[in-house]
Amino acid sequence: MLYRINRITRKVCINLVSAAFSFLILIPLLSRAQNNIENIVTLSGFVADADGNPLSYATIKVDSRSTATDNLGKFEIKDLSPGKHQLTISLIGYETLYKSFALTDSITNLSFTLQQGNSLNEVVVTAGRKPESLKDVPSSVTILSARDVKEQLNVNPSITAILGNTVPGLGTSNNKATNAGQTLRGRQVLVLIDGIPQSTPLMNGSRDIRTLDPSVIERVEVIKGATSIYGNGSAGGIINFITKKATGDKVISGTTSAGVNGNLAHPSNTLGYRFSQTLSGTINKFSYVVNGTYNYTGVLKDAKGNVNAQPDGLGENKLYNAFVKLAYKPNDHSELVASYNLFRSLQKSDYVNVVGKYGITPSVGQEGIDPGEPAGTPYNHNALISYHNNALPLGSSLDVSAYYNGFVSMNRYVAQGTAWYGPGQTKIQSFKKGIRLTLNTPWKAGSFGDGEITYGLDLLNDRTNQVLTDGRVYIPDMNMLNVAPYAQMKFDILTNFVLKAGIRYENARVKVHDFNTIARGPNGQGSIPVTGGKIPYKATTFNAGLRYNKYDFFNPFVSFSQGFAINELGRILRTATSSTLESIATDPIITNNYEAGFSSKVGILNLTGAYFISTSKLGANLVDVGGFLVPQREPERIKGYEITADLNLSIQWAVGGSYSYVEGKAEQANGTKVYMNGLRIAPPKATAYLSYRPVSALDLKLFWVYTGSRDRFDVRANGLFANSEGDVKEVSLFNLSAGYRFNRKWSAGLGVENILNSSYFPVVSQYRAIDAEYVRGNGATMSLNLSYSF
C-alpha cells in the first residue's frame, strides 16, 4: 500500500505542476473577460468602538483589497465588483471582525462596531488536529500571524531567525543554514508543514525548521511541551507551518515583491537580492495559490568587516522555493486540497574558513576554493492530498490526508573527520510517506455540558540514512513503519471548564540491514560488523488537561502530556561497539510534561505565564566522547518558565515582550546529576518590541532580542571545554522593521538587523567551544523590499 501511495503522490506532483501552468495561461483571458462585464461599485463605511467612538487606522480588507480608516473612522474602497465579498476589519486591541456581504448599488455605505479584543479568540488548528479557540487549549501556544512573519521577513528572510526572535522557549538562530541548538524547552521539536512531518528524528540533521520560505506561510502555530497526539519526535512540542490559501472571489490576484539587502557598514560584495511572485484566485468551485521565490544572500560580514565563511553558513547562499496549492469545493460541506512545495538552499562560496582560536581569535573567511559539493539542502519535497467533510452522520467530520516528504541535506566538506578516516562529506537522506485519518464526533451530557471526541489513525513510513559522497556508509538505512491509533476527548463541563484527555498507541518497527561501522583508520581499522534485524518499539502515551475560561482577567490551565520519540537512533548505531542490535540500547524516549499556566486580559494589558517540568527515564543527551557527540541514555529532568506581555497604549503605540528560562540535568549511572550542554539547553532569552503607527500607511516596529549568560561546565584535563560545553556570555541586539503603503497597490518594507552594528558571538558559536565555529555574528544588515499587489 505504501508503494502505491508513493506512486500516486509522484503522479499528483506532475499533475499539480501541469495544472499550475494551465492556470497561468488561462488567467489573463478570464480576468479580461470578467472586467468587461462587471460594473463599478464603491464601498464606504464607518468603524467605531462599542461606545460609538470612531476608530482611526483600523485595517479594512475586502477580499485582497485593503485600506485603513481615517482619523474620523471613515474609509472608502473603489472599483469593487457587484456580488458577494468577504470583509475583514482588524485593529490592535480589538477583536477582528469578519463579515460576508453583497454589493448591488453603485455606492454602498456600511457601519461596523469593534469589540475590545482578546488574543484567546484566535483559532488554533494544531493543538487538537481540528480548529478550536485558544481559550479551549490547556497548554502554552504561540501563534505568528502573516503580519508577524512579514515584519520579521523585512529583518531577516530565514525562518529560523524569524522564529528564534519571536517564540518564547525556542533557542535563537545561529546565523547558519541549520537550526542546531534551537530546541524548544530543552527538547527536540517536531516540525510540520500543513501536518507533513519535516523532522528526521531517526538521525537529527537540524535542518527541519528551515524547509520552506516565509513567502508561502499564512501563519505559524507553536505548541509547547510534549504531545501524544502527533507521535514520534514531538518531545519538546510542535512547530506547524500553515501555508497560504486563496481568499476572495477574484479570478486572479497576486503580489509581486522584489528587494535588495547588504551590510550597511561594510557593503563591498555583500549585495543580495530577493524576488517573489504570488498568484491566487477562485474560479467557480476551484481555487489556487501559486508562488515562486528566489533569494540570494551576498557575502556576510561581521561588525568589524570580517567575512563570515563559517561551515553551513548562509553567505553566498541561493534559495529556491516553489509552491502550488489547488482546492476544489463540491459543496459547502466538503473540500479537496492538493499542494506541493519544493525548497532548495545551497551555499557556493568564494571564501574558505580560516580557523581561529576559541575564546581568543574568531574564525574568518578568506578567498579560496572550498572542495566538495555545495552545502545546504539540495531539495526538500512536500506533496499533500487531503479531503475534508463536515456533514457526516451524527454531526461528525472527516479529515484524511496522504503525504510524501523527500529530504536531503548536505553537510560541509571536512579535510579530516573526527568520526571516520580521511576527508569526507556526509549527507542525510530521509524519505517519508504516510496517511493521517482524523474523525470528530460531538456528543452531549445533558446539563453537565457538551463534548466531542477526535479519533483516528496515523500511518508513517520513514526511511533515513547518512552516507558520505564517496560511497561510504556512515549510518545504515533505517526503515521505520509506525502505526498509531489515537483518541482525544474534549468535554465542556458546566460551560466554563474545558477538560481534554487523550491516548495514543505507538506500534513502530525499525528494520536495519547488516552493516559495518565506519572505519576510523586505514584499511578498515576500527570498523565493526553488526548483524541487522528488526527493532520493535511499542508504547502507550496519555495526555490530560483542564482549563477554566470564564474570566478574561484570569484564565488558568494545568496539563500533563507524554511524548514518544525514537530520537538519535542513527547516532547510537554509528557508535555501536557490539555486533548485534539486541545488545545496543535503542529504547524509545518517553517524555512526561507537566505544565501550569494562565492568560490574562486587564484593560489594555494582555499577559500570559507558564511553568513546566519535563522528565524522561531514558533521554538522549549528546556528550563529547572521543571527539564526537554520543547519545547518553540517562534520566533527564528539565524545568523552566515563560512570561509574555502586550500593552496597547493607544491606537498609535504598543509595547510588549517576553522572557523564557530553561534548565536541565541528566543523571549518570553513579547517581551524579550533571547539567545538560548547550545543544539542548539554551540560556535565558528576553524579547521586546515597540510599535508606532503614526498614520494608517506607516508601521514602525523596533525589536530587542537578548540572550543571557550560562556558565555550567569546567574545562577538561587538557585545559579546554568539551564539545558544546563552552561558557555563554550575554548578547543584546536591536532590529528595526518598517512598512509603508503608498496606495492600495504599492507598498515598501525596510528592515535593519543588528541596527547598532554590535560585535558579538552568537550563542552557538560560544557554547560549541570549537575553533572552526567560533565566528562572530552578522553586522548591521539592511533589507529594502518593494511590493505590488493587484
Give the single-character DSSP code of 723: T
Say yes or no to pLDDT of 20 above 60. no
Each residue of 708-749: pLDDT tens digit?
A: 999 999 999 999 999 999 999 999 999 999 999 999 899 999
Amino acid at 746: W
Each residue of 262-314: pLDDT tens digit?
A: 999 999 999 999 999 999 999 999 999 999 999 999 999 999 999 998 878 89
Residues contacting 260, CB < 8 A, separation 6+ = 271, 272, 273, 274, 783, 784
- Per-residue confidence at 19, pLDDT binned at 50, 70, 90? very low
What local confidence, expressed as pLDDT, does residue 31 receive?
37
- Range 581-596 average pLDDT: 84
- Per-residue confidence at 64, pLDDT binned at 50, 70, 90? low
Say yes or no to pLDDT of 40 above 50. yes
Q: What percent of the chain has pLDDT over 70?
A: 92
Q: Which run of H or E residues covers position 655?
A: strand 653-667
- Distance, CA of 39 to CA of 191 (rounded, Å): 47
Say yes or no to pLDDT of 17 above 50. no
What local confidence, expressed as pLDDT, does residue 508 receive?
94
Say yes or no to pLDDT of 4 above 60. no
DSSP notation for 130-190: S-EEGGG--S-EEEE-HHHHHHHHHH---HHHHHHTT-TTBPPP-SBSS-TT--BTTB--E
Q: Which run of H or E residues covers position 783?
A: strand 781-789
- Per-residue confidence at 122, pLDDT binned at 50, 70, 90? low
Whole-prediction pTM:
0.85
- Buried-state track 331-351, b at ≥16 Cβ within 10 A, e below 16: eeebbebbbbbbbbbbbebbb
Domains 2-120 and 121-789 share a fold: no
Each residue of 569-586: pLDDT tens digit?
A: 888 888 888 888 877 767
What local confidence, expressed as pLDDT, does residue 627 receive?
61
Residues contacting 427, CB < 8 A, separation 6+ = 378, 408, 409, 410, 411, 466, 467, 468, 469
What local confidence, expressed as pLDDT, does residue 93 receive?
59
Least confident of 80-89, 454-463, 676-685: 80-89
What integer best gives the mean pLDDT of the chain? 88
- Range 247-267 average pLDDT: 93
Annotated domain spans of the chain: 2-120, 121-789
What local confidence, expressed as pLDDT, does residue 227 receive?
76
| CATH number belonging to domain 121-789 | 2.40.170.20
Query: Could you tell me which residue, 476 or 43, shows the higher pLDDT?
Result: 476
State the pairing for strand pair 515-516/529-530: antiparallel
> CA nearest 227: which of 614, 599, 597?
614
- Distance, CA of 778 to CA of 264 (rounded, Å): 11
- Range 22-49 average pLDDT: 55
What local confidence, expressed as pLDDT, does residue 785 receive?
96
- Range 192-208 average pLDDT: 91
Say yes or no to pLDDT of 182 above 80. yes
Largest CA distance in the chain: 85
- Distance, CA of 351 to CA of 349 (rounded, Å): 5
What local confidence, expressed as pLDDT, does residue 30 receive?
36
Each residue of 369-401: pLDDT tens digit?
A: 888 899 999 999 999 999 999 999 988 999 999
Query: Could you tell me which residue, 431 or 520, shows the higher pLDDT?
Result: 431
What local confidence, expressed as pLDDT, does residue 121 receive?
55
- Number of neighbours of residue 440 by Cβ within 10 angstroms: 21
Architecture of domain 2-120: Sandwich (2.60)
- Range 16-24 average pLDDT: 36
Q: What angle do CA 167, 275, 244 make, to 5 degrees?
A: 50
Query: Could you tell me which residue, 5 or 782, shows the higher pLDDT?
Result: 782
Least confident of 321-330, 620-629, 700-709: 620-629
Do the Cβ atoms of 304 and 267 come closer than 8 Å? Answer: no
Look up cell 570549537; give the residue.
Answer: 770
Q: What percent of the chain has pLDDT over 90?
A: 63
Give the single-character DSSP code of 324: E
Say yes or no to pLDDT of 104 above 80. no
- Distance, CA of 608 to CA of 141 (rounded, Å): 10
Say yes or no to pLDDT of 26 above 50. no
